Structures are given as structure tokens and as C-alpha cells.
Amino acid sequence: MKTSLSRRLFRTFLAIGFINVAVTLVIIESVYDDMEDSILRNELALERAFLEQHVGGTEVESRDTALLTTLYVPDGATTELPEIFRNRPVPFSAEVEVADKTWLISIERVAAPAGVIYLAQDITLMESREAAQRFGWGLFALLVLGLVVLLTRIGTRRILGPLEDLTRHIARLQPGSPVARIDSRYEDMELANIAATLNQLLDALDAYVQREKSLVSLASHELRTPVAVISGALDVLAQRNSLGDADRHTVARIRRAADEMRADVETLLKLARRSGDSDQPEDLDLTDSVRAVVAELEDGAPQQAGRIRCSLPKPAPVVHADPTLVRMLLRNLVQNAVRHTAGEVHVELGANSLSISDAGAGLPEHIRARLNAPAGRLVPEDGLGLFIVRLICERLGWLLRVRRSDAGGTVLDLLFLPDAARSAQE
């Protein structure tokens, strides 16, 4: 499954932004906590050193300020410890919560005079300020993340905008003569190089197409002369009426081959003009077209008479198309079916379709796949007839589908597009 480049860039930049914000918050929090712990513990260390210098004797001594509680208990003395010191081991150092207040407690033994010094500093206010700061840092992180999302979206569009513009330019290119070139005036050197390279490719393709069209057109024109000479010579032989039965049979085969060659030449010459300017569409009765093609094929090969069965509806479908192209298409399809099977060929005409089926061995799978492939992918690897059929269908805007019949033969379906097919009653 393909992924969008814009999504990948957006997610990558967004992930980088989130990681940066998260790392920044972790560093700030760790630095802040380290500074807080260092300050508080240094203050308690100073207080403990001061008490060690000023306590003495065997009496319990205690001092209380607004935020600091100190207690000295000499060895051997007994006293009721305040709740914050009660049931705590010696030594002890930790941050604890007692009665909705937070205390930093330090309990240590001193050697001279022998006893235990209890220190407790009320850091409730500091903890409240720290919570407020954490909340502020959280809001700041949300704002930064929002800014990251916005900048990431803008940056992604800024990076991919010219690329999408280039894609739209390429999508607007249509095969023809000449193909419009891509505007290469991009600010980004890489995109300008891509556009320039594509234009060079289009130049080469244009030259190649023009050369191929000229070759097909020239070959078609040049082939007309020898075909005409062959047909003329056959007419002369027929007028002499001096041929035997075997020779007349041979001459008939030559005439059929010459007629087929002339039809193929005319088809190639017309298809070589890919722009369609030479087409002359008109309202065409498909029933008459089918009958004319069948009659032409049976006249050219009398031994094939009666093999083509037609099912023609009334009223007949009418299409708006070039009669010459339609005749070429039907002639190639029906003639191909007759040539590759010994049984009957059925031509069934519907309101929006025409089917030609035979009882032969059927087309090989690889040929059916090529005929059913999207437009522009067919190459004449298996003869000129089917290649011409596909080109004519593309030119007319009709759909060609090839399938295997229930009897094992081949069925070729021609589907007229809705904007091309009309009923005779309309």
C-alpha cells in the first residue's frame, strides 16, 4: 500500500518537534529538581553545623521558626518527638508529607556532644510554587506543540507545493502534436532540473512520434502503388478469360490477399493521423454496417457463405462515428473469427453492444490479457489485425472486452459508451 509523501514528511517533522519539546521539558525538570534539592540540602547542612556548635549538655533543645523545626536529643534523654520526626530511623533524609504540609527532614547522629539532631524544613510553599511552575511549563509545552504542528504543516506545504505543481503540469500533458512543455522556471534548482529533464524527454518523444507517424504514413502511401498494380494485373487476367480452373482459384486467392492488404493500408493511413481531424463522424445504422461487412466477406470468399449468423435487432442501434473506422473495425473482427474457426460465427447486436463469438479453440490467455489491458499498452506481437482493432476502438471511444465462451471459443464484446450510443427512436 502506497503512502503519501506529504504525510510522511508531516509525521517526521511532527515527531521531531514532539521529541524536542519532550527532551526540553525533561531537561528543565531535572535541572530544576537538582537545583532545588541542592539548595535545600545545603541549607539543612548549614543549620546542622550551626546546631552542632551551639548545643551541649544533657538537656533536650528545640528551636522553631516559621519554616524550620530543629530538635537536639542527647543520648540517654527521653522526650516526646513531634509527629514529623516520630517513628523514623536514624539516620534519615527524605521529603515527606505530614498534615497537608511537605517537609524536608534530616535526622543524623552527632558525636560531640553525643546525641541526635532532628531538622525539618517546611517546603510546602516551595512545592506549591513548583506545581504552579509545572502547570506553566505544561501550558508552554502545549503552545509549543501547537506551534510545531502549524509550522510543520506550513513547512510540508512549502516543500511539496512546487512538487505538486509540477505533478499537475505533467498530468495536463496530452499526447499530440506538439506536446506542451513544462514550465521550468522554479525557484528550487532541483525542481527546475527535473522540469528541464522532462522537457528534454518530451522533445525526444515528440521527435520519435513524428518520425513513426511519418514512417507509417509514407509506408502506407508507398504500398498503395504496388497493391494497385497487383489489382490491375488481376483485372487484366480476368478480362483475358484464358485461365484454367486451378489458375482462377490461385488468382482469386491473390485478389483476396490484395484486397486485405489494401484495407490494412487504408486503416493504417487513417490511424496514422492520431489527432482525429480526418474523422468524419455521422449517424450510422449498425445493422446496415454489419450486413455490408458480412456481404463483403462472403463475396470475397464464396466458400465461407452461410457461416456467419447475425442477430440484428429492430429498431437498429445508431451510433455517431466515422463510417470508415466502423467498417474497418467490424471487418477485422468478423474476418478474424471466420479465419480462425471452422464452425459458425455469431454476430449479435444489442442496444449498446455488439458481440462476435466463435466455436474455435479460443484466443490464448496472454492475447486476451493484452486486449483487455488499459489503453496504450497493446503492441502488435500477435498480428496486425487485433492491433488495428484495438487502435480503432481507442479512436472511436468504444470498449473492447475479450472473454471465453461457454463452448470454449472466443467472444469479443464491443461496448458503446453512453455518450456515443443512441436508440433509433430518439
Give pLDDT tens digits for 182-240.
Answer: 777 777 777 778 888 888 888 887 777 777 777 766 776 677 788 888 888 888 888 88
Mean pLDDT of 111-138: 84
Sign for the CA dihedral angle at 14, 15, 16, 17 comes to positive
Query: Quick one: cell of 7?
Result: 504525510
Cα–Cα distance between 186 and 163 in angstroms, integer? 10
Residue bearing cell 506536446: 179
Average pLDDT along the chain? 78
Domain boundaries, the chain: 5-147, 279-301+308-422
Mean pLDDT of 145-164: 82
- pLDDT tens for 32-49 read 777 767 766 788 888 888
Judge whether residue 275 has pLDDT over 60. no
Mean pLDDT of 88-104: 87
Q: Which residues in 5-136 belong to E strands, given as ranges?
A: 61-64, 68-74, 92-98, 101-110, 115-122
Residue bearing cell 478474424: 336
CB 424 within 8 A of CB 351: no
- Matching CATH number, 279-301+308-422, of 3.40.50.720, 3.30.565.10, 1.10.10.350, 3.40.190.10: 3.30.565.10
pTM here is 0.48
CB 306 within 8 A of CB 335: no
Mean pLDDT of 242-255: 80
Provide the pLDDT for residue 363.
59
Provide the pLDDT for residue 42.
82
Provide the pLDDT for residue 148.
85
- pLDDT tens for 331-381 read 888 888 887 777 788 899 888 889 988 876 655 666 666 666 655 444 455
- pLDDT tens for 64-87 read 888 888 888 888 888 888 888 888
Judge whether residue 421 has pLDDT over 60. no
Cα–Cα distance between 113 and 155 in angstroms, integer? 70
Judge whether residue 146 has pLDDT over 80. yes
Q: Where are the alpha helices (DSSP H) in 85-123?
A: none
Provide the pLDDT for residue 361.
64
